[in-house]
Structure 1
Amino acid sequence: MTEAMYYVLLALMRPNHGYQLMHAITEVSNGRLKMGPGTLYGVLSRMQKDGLISLAENDGRRKTYLLTPEGKHALHTEYGRLKALIKDSSILEEGDEDE
Structure 2
Amino acid sequence: MAGQPPTPAVFHLLLALTGGPRHGYALGQEVERLSGGRMRLGAGTLYRSLQRMRVDGLLAEEGSDTEDERRRVYSLTAAGRRAAAEEAERLRELVRFAVQKGLLSPELES
Q: Structure 2 length as normaliser, TM-score? A: 0.81
Greater percentage in helix: 1
Q: Does 2:91 match 1:82?
A: yes
The reply on whether 1:92 has 2:98 as its aligned counterpart is no
Unpaired runs of at least 5, structure 1: 95-99
Alpha-carbon distance between aligned partners in 1 of 2:45 and 2:87, rounded to the nearest angstrom: 20
Q: What is the 5 A alignment of 1:54-69?
A: 54-58=60-64, 59=67, 60-69=69-78
C-alpha distance in structure 1 between counterparts of 2:103 and 2:75, whole Å: 38
Which residues in structure 2 correspond to 1:1-99 (within 5 Å)?
A: 1-13=6-18, 14-58=20-64, 59=67, 60-90=69-99, 91-93=101-103
2:61 is matched by which residue type in structure 1? L
- Partner SS for 2:102: helix
Give the drift of 1:85: 0.3
Alpha-carbon separation, structure 2, partners of 1:62 and 1:73: 26
Instruction: Tell me the TM-score normalized by structure 1.
Output: 0.89
Query: Matched residue pairs, number?
Result: 94
Report the RMSD for the aligned CA atoms in angstroms: 1.3
- Higher radius of gyration, 1 or 2: 1
Runs of 4+ in 1 over 4 A off after TM superposition: none
